[in-house]
Structure 1
Amino acid sequence: MNFSWDHFPIDIVILAAIAVFLIWRLRSVIGRNIGFGSLSSAPSPGKAAPSALLRPAPAALPVKVEKHIPAMESPPGQILLEIAQLEKGFTPASFLDGVEISFRRIVNAFAAGDLPVLKNSLVPAAYEVFSYAVIARNEAQETQKTELKAIQSLTITDARLEPAPEMGPDRGPDRGGVGKKALITVAIVSDQINMQHDKEQKVIAGIDAVTEIMDLWTFVRVLGSQTAPGSASWLLEETSNG
């Protein structure tokens, strides 16, 4: 059969052109990174990234938290061993179990503005900082949305013993550990969605996407002390980005 442009069906040409355009558009959209990022710190205020292909996330499977304890012969390991000798019932593994619970509780309480929970979980100086942020947020009629999707790992990175100021430097292990405070720093890697909205519900910080965040949290306890009712046995003293 002999085709010529005079007899070539123009509708086929148009349909083919439309198909090529649709395929190009589909590939350009599917090929985008639609939200998973890896950051070493929490999202900072700024222009929110536009969302693409918004759709329900698949049901998440339970993620087993990896927990890493330093070798006993390492400097932090030696301090942990000393803490175990001074604090009845202390083990690094049980401590990390408590950190997992505290991290979830504190992150959710800060997002919800739950000051009583924060007060029972932080030392006074840290609580002052957190509560100031919550109060300032409320006064500005801003809201915080935080979804803690998963905790990937907990790693003890440092441990040290210091005199408890209220007890004085001379109250040491000969008094059963009372008078010494233990400080343990944990690197926490988690997957979160963090967004802050203004009073008009416009995004002013964060993005609507899962972000991997690494935090360094330091917990403190006066060894041998009694835990106040409703309070955590280890209180959060300091936070920083990993």
Structure 2
Amino acid sequence: MTNMQIDIPTIVFAIVAIFVAWKLRSVLGTRGDPQQRPPMDQRPPTRPSSDFGAAKGGEVLQFKPAASAPPRPEAPVAPVDRWAGFAAPGSPLALGFDAIAAVDRNFSPASFLSGARAAYEMIVNAFAAADMTTLKRLLAPEVLANFETAIRARLAAEQSLTTTLVSIDAADVVEARLAGTSETIAVRFAAKLVSATHDKSGATVEGSPNDVVDHLDVWTFARDAASADPNWLLAATQTVH
């Protein structure tokens, strides 16, 4: 009988390899066996189903909102100091600005006051010149009627009015309101004018052609937010002094 030399280490390693392969198969299962799953403590953590969908292809899919319930956009929050330099936060004036801005998103106190200053100068000059065409574009009907009455009386007396606007020293919004679709803004003007009324001979019958006089007036401008005409009209005047 021929003596065979047995390689003991090789046999031991082969047995160990077979055992390890069998153990891995029993724990992990085969790739094609859907019934084999990893033990619970080896599964990846899951997220609540209300936030995420099921895993697919290694990715976690986020649920899409239902077509019948689209996400509601959040309304932009206006800064607390949005009217800085014109009105204190929470003041009645600031609330009035808020109301007007709600129906006119392009509203700006700075732009409004720029237009109000220009209107003040145009109206003062048009009244002195008896320019009814210009006044009709800038005055509300009731104020226009009062201006027209004064102009007719002056012309009937054969008098003329000369007015020079020296400066507008201040123009401040003192009130802003929205009533329905009616927007009103009151502006206090501090201005310096030279004004004199002359008779038909040129003699001064009122005022002075040389004296600069301080005027303080509150003019109220109005417009209808629902109107196709965006222009503000002078709706009321009040002389403070």
Where on the TM-score scale, by shorter chain, does this alignment land: which range?
Answer: 0.5 to 0.7
Corresponding position of 1:203: 204
Give 1:72 shift.
3.5
Alignment of 1:193 with 2:191, yes or no, is no
Alignment counterpart, residue 237 of structure 1, candidates 223, 235, 238: 235
Q: Which amino acid aligns with 1:240?
A: Q
Gapped regions of structure 1 (runs ≥ 5): 1-67, 164-179
Paired residues in the alignment total 155
Displacement of 1:214 in angstroms is 0.6
The answer to whether the Cα contact below 8 Å between 2:99 and 2:177 also exists between their aligned partners in 1 is no
Structure-2 residue corresponding to 1:150: 167
Q: Report the TM-score, using the length of structure 1 for normalisation.
A: 0.62
- Specify the alignment match of 1:159 in structure 2: 176
The one of the two structures with greater contact order (alpha-carbon pairs below 8 A, sep at least 6) is 1
Gaps of 5+ in 2: 1-84
Given residue 204 of structure 1, which amino acid in structure 2 is its aligned partner?
A: V
Identify the residue that residue 121 of structure 2 maps to in structure 1. 104
- Residues in 2 aligned to 1:225 and 1:135: alpha-carbon distance in whole angstroms: 31
Matched, 1:139 2:140: no
Amino acid paired to 2:226: G
Return the offset for 1:224.
3.5
CA distance in 2, matches of 1:108, 1:88: 32
2-side partners of 1:220 and 1:136: how far apart? 27
Q: 1:220 aligns with which of 219, 222, 239?
A: 222
TM-score normalised by structure 2 residue count: 0.62
Query: Separation in 2 of the partners of 1:84 and 1:224?
Result: 14
- Pairwise CA distance, 1:150: 0.6
Larger C-alpha radius of gyration, 1 or 2?
A: 2
Residue 120 of structure 1 and its aligned partner are, at CA, apart by 0.7
Question: Deviation at 1:203?
Answer: 1.2
1:129 is aligned to 2:142 = no
Q: 1:38 corresponds to which residue? A: none
Cα deviation for residue 88 of structure 1 reads 3.6
The separation in 1 between residues aligned to 2:149 and 2:140, in whole angstroms, is: 14
* Match of residue 20 from structure 2: none
Whichever residue aligns with residue 71 of structure 1, its letter is A
Offset of residue 161 of structure 1: 1.8
Aligned to 2:88: 71
Name the SS for the 2:215 alignment partner. Answer: strand
**3-state secondary structure, aligned to 1:183:** strand
Which is further off, 99-108 or 70-79?
70-79
CA contact (8 A) 1:160 1:183 kept: yes
Q: Which residue in 1 is equivalent to 2:133?
A: 116
Aligned letter for 2:214? E
- Structure 1 runs, 4 residues or longer, greater than 6 Å off: none
What letter corresponds to residue 164 of structure 2 in structure 1? E
Give how far 1:212 is off.
1.1
